[in-house]
Amino acid sequence: MEQTYIRLNDGNRIPQFGLGVYQIEGDAATQTACLEAISCGYRHIDTAHAYQNECGVGEAVRDCDVAREDLWITSKLWPNEYGTGKTARAIDKMLGRFGLEYIDLLLLHQQFGDYLGAWRDMEKAVAQGKVRSIGISNFESERLEELMQFAQIKPAVLQVECHPYYGQGELKNRITPYRTAIECWYPIGHGDSGLINEAIFCRLAEKYGKSNVQVILRWHIQKGHIVIPRSVNPQHIRENVEIFDFSLTKEEMQEIDTLDKGRRFFKMSLAQQERILGAWQPTI
């Protein structure tokens, strides 16, 4: 597999395709999935403190036969870790859980809490060499602009829900001035059968000898998205990344774009997020 990279606004190069480990329970299962992915050519692993499996990711990084500098490890801070001083301590604890000397990309996981205080500590962590790039996840309200104006180091990555039914065109326009890259969770629409089995994907899968999911993931790559599908199935892990040996035509890309219905699968309002997600915190 020939991995593709995106040059971030801070000059770092992020592997465009990675493994997401959301809802992989336990460090052993996480380590196994990561090692399988790395053996298949993945060089990017996306986790979070909230996933409570960072130790398993770190174990895979240490146990694999790929040099640390050739791997990209992303994690995220939970809102209970936001705040001046508090975030600095949380970053040190995160490095301890990983057993690593630095994190390639650190994101604010949610758009509530003292995210401005957290951002200042994240900027300091970059200067200290503890973190290479910093970014945000799930910032889509007016708080996105607030953070952009506050930030001395602009977010390198914005991770949000994005798939052919929800292409995030308006959000992309808002972050274009900052050259912030889009990273997609739910890249195949939370596994929605209606999306996966759209006629265009069935037709293109037959044309290129690929699965419908592979066609969707290829669309993401050609849109310039960073994409992190989750799987623990070795066959799916391998198949997901086998998308670099074909290309969709301009017309095919445009036809897929017409599927955008403005339909998202995560429908919790910001107020609900603050109330429900804010009441929970990682136990590890």
Distance (Å, rounded) from C-alpha 44 to C-alpha 6? 12
Residues labelled catalytic: 51
Distance (Å, rounded) from C-alpha 98 to C-alpha 246? 36
Distance (Å, rounded) from C-alpha 273 to C-alpha 229? 23
Contacts of range 250-257, beta carbons closer than 8 Å, 24 or more positions apart: 252/200, 252/204, 253/219, 253/222, 253/223, 255/200, 256/164, 256/200, 256/201, 256/219, 257/164, 257/167
| Largest Cα span, the chain | 55
Q: Where are the alpha helices (DSSP H) in the chain?
A: 27-39, 54-63, 86-98, 115-127, 142-150, 169-175, 193-196, 199-208, 212-223, 234-241, 250-257, 270-276
Compute CA distances 149 → 47, 119, 133, 175, 180, whole Å: 27, 12, 18, 12, 14
Distance (Å, rounded) from C-alpha 36 to C-alpha 235? 10
SS3 45: strand
Distance (Å, rounded) from C-alpha 227 to C-alpha 121? 27
Nearest to 138 by CA among 116, 159, 155, 167: 159
Kindly tell me the number of DSSP H helices and DSSP E strands found in the chain: 12, 10
